[in-house]
């Protein structure tokens, strides 16, 4: 791994837990990781728990993010949450284009692009997720799908607007399935994602941007993935709900 890219590991809590469980998990993550500075640690709780988790993480080095946002600033969008709402409860980060938003809720590439712009306009640091479905991989379209998602999201943006951008390669077939990509599969796509970013935003930007792998990561698979040259961290779903396992994943980097 290039030393100048500090690894970043995020825990996506998805739609799990109650307020009390989220508070306990946040405190436990903080206790286990607040003195560990080698990796940047982020957590993404469900919307209703963000303010309470922000309090538990106050003055720690653990970053707080939301799992999604709406692209509009305000209005008649029942059930939706704006970027400004997120910053007002203490969020600094937000997932954009997570595969469950794309494939369960139907967010198109264009909607993801709008969400990315809304996040940037509000000063949120985005984790832009891309990834191919199993049938796309089988058809030999892995690179093309990831490049299309990246291109649509990043089109027209400049590197100085994207200085806090983190990318996450999350193959849809690996998310929540127990089918983790091999380190070699992850590295192959990460290298192509970085090459695509270089074409869009230049080599210097591409060399600095961090690319996480996500998809069924567990403590025992984390080190092998993070050892790869272009894997700069992990985005962890199910395994981030147990503080002990999440801390082991964060600390797995050699």
Residue 28: how many CB atoms within 10 A of its CB?
Answer: 16
- The mark string for 31-70 relative to ligand PEP (x by CB under 6 A, - otherwise) is ----------------------------------------
Q: In whole angstroms, how close is the CB of 162 to ligand PEP at the nearest point?
A: 21
Active site residue 98: yes
Query: How many residues would you count in the chain?
Result: 254
Of the pair 170, 192, the CB lying nearest ligand PEP is at 170
β partners of residue 94: 66, 126
Residue 225 token pair: 């993935």
Q: How far is the CB of 158 from ligand PEP (least distance, A)?
A: 27
> Total binding residues for ligand PEP by CB under 6 A?
14
Q: Rounded to the nearest whole angstrom, what is the least distance from the CB of residue 142 to ligand PEP in the complex?
A: 17
Return the residue of 219, 235, 243, 247 that touches ligand PEP, per CB under 6 A.
235
Q: Which phi and psi angles does 155 have, rounded to 5°? A: -50, 125
**Which residues have CB under 8 Å from 197's CB, separation 6+?**
150, 154, 167, 205, 206, 209
Q: Which of 100, 132, 170, 245 is catalytic?
A: 170
Is 170 designated active site?
yes
| 135-194 positions binding ligand PEP, by CB under 6 A | 170, 175-176
Among residues 208, 226, 207, 205, the alpha carbon closest in space to that of 217 is found at 226
Under rule CB under 6 A, residue 217 binds ligand PEP: yes
Out of 65, 126, 171, 214, the only residue in the binding site for ligand PEP (CB under 6 A) is 214
Q: Are 86 and 45 in contact (CB under 8 A)?
A: no
Instruction: Say how far apart CA 124 and CA 164 lie, in whole Å.
Output: 9
Cross-strand bridge partners of residue 126? 94
């Amino acid at each position: 791994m290039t030393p100048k890219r500090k690894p970043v590991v995020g825990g996506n809590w998805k739609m799990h837990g109650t307020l009390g469980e989220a508070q306990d998990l946040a405190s436990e993550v903080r206790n286990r990781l607040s003195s560990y500075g080698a990796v940047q640690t982020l957590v993404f709780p469900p919307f209703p728990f963000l303010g309470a988790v922000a309090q538990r993480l106050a003055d720690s080095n653990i970053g707080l993010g939301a799992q999604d946002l709406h692209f509009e600033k305000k209005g008649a969008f029942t059930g939706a949450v704006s970027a400004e709402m997120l910053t007002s409860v203490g969020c600094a980060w937000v997932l954009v284009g997570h595969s469950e938003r794309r494939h369960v809720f139907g967010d198109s590439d264009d909607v993801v692009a709008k969400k990315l712009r809304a996040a940037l306009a509000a000063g949120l640091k985005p984790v832009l997720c891309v990834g191919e479905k199993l049938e796309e991989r089988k058809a030999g379209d892995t690179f093309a799908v990831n490049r299309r998602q990246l291109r649509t999201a990043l089109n027209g943006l400049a590197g100085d607007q994207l200085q806090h951008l983190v990318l996450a390669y999350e193959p849809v077939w690996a998310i929540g399935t127990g089918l983790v990509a091999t380190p070699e599969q992850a590295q192959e796509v990460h290298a192509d994602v970085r090459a695509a970013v270089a074409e869009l935003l230049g080599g210097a930007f591409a060399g600095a941007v961090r690319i996480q792998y996500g998809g069924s990561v567990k403590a025992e698979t984390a080190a092998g993935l993070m050892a790869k040259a272009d894997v700069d961290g992990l985005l962890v779903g199910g395994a981030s709900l147990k503080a002990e396992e999440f801390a082991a994943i964060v600390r797995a980097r050699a």
